Each structure stands twice: as C-alpha cells, then as structure tokens.
Structure 1
Amino acid sequence: MEALSGFLIATGLIFIAELGDKSQLVALWFATRYRWWTVLAGVTVATLVVHLASVAAGRVLDELIPEDVLLVIVGL
C-alpha cells in the first residue's frame, strides 16, 4: 500500500508541476503539424527516458551522499 501511495503522490505532484511547461507547449505545437498519435508516442518515450534517468541518478546520489547532507541540499 505504501508503494501505491508514493506512486499516487508522485503522479499528482508531477502532473501539477508540469502544467504549461515548455515540453507541453512544444507537444501542443507539434500536434498541430504532425499526427497526434505520433506526437503522443514521442512525448511518452521521451518522458520515460528522462524520468528513468532521473530515478537512476537519484539512486546513485542516495548511495554517494549522506542523508543529512542530502536533506540540506534539497532544502528539507
């Protein structure tokens, strides 16, 4: 249940944070020029790659940086 809770919180926060950003505006512009499903597929793959890289980097940083230092860096 904890994993589902974390998933839902991350999904909701990222959804809110991403509204109206550059990527969304570029996707909107591309959708006016190309087939919508092609744009959707490209956006989906690109987003997946970016988020996989972010998660991997976070995992590596978690192993390298002590938790107290990490909390200061992220401002908690």
Structure 2
Amino acid sequence: MEAFLLSTGIVALAEMGDKTQLLSLVLAARFKKPWPIIWGILAATLLNHALAGAVGSWVMAAAGPDVMRWVLGVSFIAMAGWMLIPDKLDDEDAVPKRQFGVFFTTTWAFFLAEMGDKTQIATVALGAQYEPLVAVVAGTTLGMMLANAPVVFFGDAITRRVPIKAVHVAAALIFLALGVAVLWSGS
C-alpha cells in the first residue's frame, strides 16, 4: 500500500504545471471532447509507466541494492532540483492534427510528451525501489489522472487558482526527503 500511495502522491504533485498537464489543457481546448481525451491520457500513461516501472525494476535487479541505493538517492535529489524548473509546451510538442481521432491523437501525443518527463523518471525510480510493480504503476497512473483529468474538464479555471510554484516547492521537498532517506538507509 505504501508503494501505491507514495507513487500517487509524488506523481500528482510532480505533474502540476508539467508539460503533459499543459498538453491536457491544449487538447481540451482544441477538441472539446473530454472523455476521449481522458481515456487517451489513461492509455498512454498506463503503457508509458508500465514500461518505466519495468525498467526501474530491471535496473534494480541488474545493479544490486547497494549501487541502486546511491543511484536512487541521487536521482530523487536531482528530481527535487528539476521540480523547481517550470515546464512549458514547446513548439516541437505541438498537438498533432485530428486525423486519427481524439482518443488516438491524445494517446500518441501524451505518450510522446511523457518520454523523459519528470513523472516518467520518477516512475523508473519508484519501480526500482518499491514492490510490487503493479502498485507503483497503478499509483503513478492514478497520480497522473488526478492531476490531468480536472484540467481536461475545468481547464483554465484550475490552472489560474492553484499556486503552481508552491506545489513545485512541496514536491521538491518530498523528493529531497526521499533522496536523503534512501541514502541514509544504507548507513
């Protein structure tokens, strides 16, 4: 249960103001069909985070616990710093035209935008640290949905009211605490 709850909380916080959350806003504004967008986000996140969690689990098995303790500790601390750098949706991340329908367009755009993103890297680290992997993937996916579904439905009103900077600082502090705890646990 710890893996599920921690994964949910970390990803929900990390996703606030993230480029994939901005992508959710753009998709909602462009297509005005919330349910296919929500299902596309869910499909893309499940696939992306299942792969990321599996990579984390595989790396843990290959490197061993002592090496991974250092990798995870430093990774969580690096994520803390990365959380303080705001994301923006670049021109290269523009939403593709709707030639394949809203669901497929959302799934494809979201999957690609999530590659190398903070939440994907966090999922790799969480997959390396926690078992069972299904709890990590379910938690990170729920965290993504908690952060993105309201944006699809309520869009701009939410993003103007939530203090993104404060959320980023809180997430950075959590990642920092996790990193220090992981490094300290080997002492």
Q: TM-score w.r.t. structure 1 length?
A: 0.86
Count, aligned residues: 73
1:11 match: 8
For residues 23-57 of structure 1, the C-alpha deviation after alignment (integer angstroms, 9 at most, x for no partner) is 01011101011111111111111111111001111
Q: Structure 2: any 5+ residue segments left out of the alignment? A: 75-182
* 2:39 aligns with one of 38, 41, 56: 41
1:59 match: 57
1:9, 1:69 → 2: CA distance? 22
Q: Structure 1: any 5+ residue segments left out of the alignment? A: none
Amino acid at match of 2:9: G
**RMSD over aligned Cα atoms:** 1.1
Looking at secondary structure, tell me which structure has more helix per residue: 1
* 1:23 aligns with one of 1, 17, 20: 20
Q: TM-score w.r.t. structure 2 length?
A: 0.37
Residue 63 (structure 1) shift:
1.2
2:48 match: 50
Residue 59 (structure 1) shift:
1.5
Moved segments of 4+, more than 2 Å: none
1:5, 1:70 → 2: CA distance? 19
Identity percentage over the alignment? Answer: 34
Residue 16 (structure 1) shift:
0.6
Residue 6 (structure 1) shift:
2.2
